[in-house]
Amino acid sequence: MSAAQFATLKHLSELLASGKASAVELAQDSLARIDASDLNAFIDVRPEVSLAQAKAADAARAAGQGGALTGLPIAHKDIFVTKDFRSTAGSKMLADYVSPFDATVVERLAAAGMVTVGKTNCDEFAMGSSNENSAFGAVKNPWDVAAIAGGSSGGSAAAVAAGLVSAATGTDTGGSIRQPAALCGITGIKPTYGRVSRYGMIAYASSLDQGGPMARTAEDCALLLNAMAGFDMRDSTSLERPVEDFSRDLNQPLQGLRIGLPKEYFGAGLSSDVAACVQAAIKQFETLGATVVEITLPRTELSIPAYYVVAPAEASSNLSRFDGVRYGHRASEYKDLQDMYKKTRAEGFGAEVKRRIMVGAYVLSHGYYDAYYLQAQKIRRLIADDFQTAFADCDVIMGPVAPTVAWNIGDKADDPVANYLADIYTLSASLAGLPGMSIPVGFGNGQRPVGLQIIGNYFSEARLLNVAHQYQSATDWHTKTPGA
Report, as an integer, the average pLDDT of 347-376. 96
Lowest pLDDT segment from 17-21, 44-48, 128-132, 418-422: 418-422
Write out pLDDT tens, residues 237-295.
999 999 999 999 999 999 999 999 999 999 989 999 999 999 999 999 999 999 999 99
pLDDT, residue 121, reads: 98
Write out pLDDT tens, residues 197-212.
999 999 999 999 999 9
Burial, 340: exposed, middle or buried (Cβ in 10 Å; 0-12, 13-18, 19+)?
A: middle
The average confidence (pLDDT) of the chain is: 97
- Please tell me the total count of domains within the chain: 1
The strand pairing partners of 436, in sequence order, are 190, 455
User: For residue 1, is pLDDT > 50?
Assistant: no
Q: How confident is the model at residue 87 (pLDDT cuts 50, 70, 90)?
A: very high
Helix (H, G, I), strand (E, B) or coil at 126: helix
pTM: 0.97
- Cβ-proximal residues to 290 (8 Å cutoff; 6+ apart), any chain: 254, 256, 257, 258, 259
Q: How confident is the model at residue 184 (pLDDT cuts 50, 70, 90)?
A: very high
Report, as an integer, the average pLDDT of 41-70. 97
Q: Which of 91, 99, 152, 438 is catalytic?
A: 152
Active site residue 37: no
- DSSP secondary structure letters along 173-214: SSSTTHHHHHHHT-EEEEPPTTSB--TTBPPS-TTT-EEEEE
Q: Which of 22, 87, 99, 176 is catalytic?
A: 176
Report, as an integer, the average pLDDT of 127-137. 97
Q: How confident is the model at residue 315 (pLDDT cuts 50, 70, 90)?
A: very high
Write out pLDDT tens, residues 154-165.
999 999 999 999
Q: Which amino acid is at 90?
A: G
Contact 253, 470 (CB under 8 A): yes
- DSSP secondary structure letters along 46-113: -HHHHHHHHHHHHHHHHTT---TTTT-EEEEETTB--SSSB--TTSGGGTT-B-SS--HHHHHHHHTT
Q: Kindly provide the b/e burial profile for residues 64-92, where b requires at least 16 CB atoms within 10 angstroms of the residue's own CB.
A: eebbbbbbbbbbbbbbbbbebbbbbbbbb
Domain that holds residue 52: 1-484
User: For residue 417, is pLDDT > 90?
Assistant: no
pLDDT, residue 3, reads: 63
**Higher model confidence: residue 483 or residue 378?**
378
The strand pairing partners of 456, in sequence order, are 396
Active site residue 92: no
Cα separation of 8 and 431, whole Å?
32
| Percent of the chain with pLDDT strictly greater than 90 | 96
Cα separation of 293 and 381, whole Å?
24
Q: Which of 30, 50, 77, 129 is catalytic?
A: 77
Question: Residue 10 is part of a domain; what is its CATH number?
Answer: 3.90.1300.10
Alpha-carbon dihedral angle through residues 91, 94, 96, 100, given to the nearest 10 degrees:
-140
Report, as an integer, the average pLDDT of 39-50. 98
pLDDT, residue 414, reads: 86
Report, as an integer, the average pLDDT of 180-190. 98
Cα separation of 173 and 177, whole Å?
8
Active site residue 87: no
pLDDT, residue 264, reads: 97
Write out pLDDT tens, residues 205-235.
999 999 999 999 999 999 999 999 999 999 9
Lowest pLDDT segment from 61-65, 136-140, 394-398, 418-422: 418-422
